[in-house]
A = this chain, B = another copy of it.
Amino acid sequence: MESPQPLSLGRVLLTGAAGGLGRQLRARLRKRCSLLRVSDVATMEPAQAGEEVVVAPLEDRAAVHQLLAGMDAVVHLGGISTEQPFDAILQANIVGVYNVYEAARKQGVKRIVFASSNHVTGYYRQDEVIDPTMPVRPDGYYGISKAFGENLSRFYFDRYGIETVCLRIGSSFPEPRDRRMLATFLSYDDLERLVVASLTTPIAGHTILYGMSDNATSWWDNTPARHIGYRPQDSSEPFRAAKEAAQPKIDPKDPAAIYQAGGFVHMGPFDN
Contacts and interface: CB of A to CB of B under 8 A. Distances in A.
A49 interface: no
Contact of A144 (B136, B148, B180): B148
A205 B127 contact: yes
A217 interface: yes
Nearest to A245: B4
Contacts of A139: 155, 158-159
Contact of A219 (B8, B226, B241): B226
Which of under 10, 10 to 19, 20 to 34, or 35 or more describes the interface residues of A?
35 or more
Nearest to A99: B86
A121 to B, nearest CB: 10
B98 A86 contact: yes
A183 interface: yes
Contact of A129 (B183, B227, B268): B227
Given A216-B231, A250-B202, A226 B90 contact: no
Contacts of A241: 3-7
A228 B136 CA distance: 21
Contact of A252 (B126, B152, B155, B163): B163
A151 B138 contact: yes
A216 to B, nearest CB: 4
A179 interface: yes
Given A202-B257, A217-B201, A257-B203, A227 B127 contact: yes
A155 B138 contact: yes
A94 interface: yes
A7 B90 contact: no
A272 B3 CA distance: 48
Contact of A216 (B8, B140, B229, B269): B229
A28 to B, nearest CB: 17
A128 B132 CA distance: 13
A100 to B, nearest CB: 12
A49 to B, nearest CB: 22
Query: Which 7 A-B residue pairs are closest in the complex by CB-CB distance?
Result: A127-B205, A217-B229, A7-B244, A202-B250, A4-B245, A123-B158, A126-B203
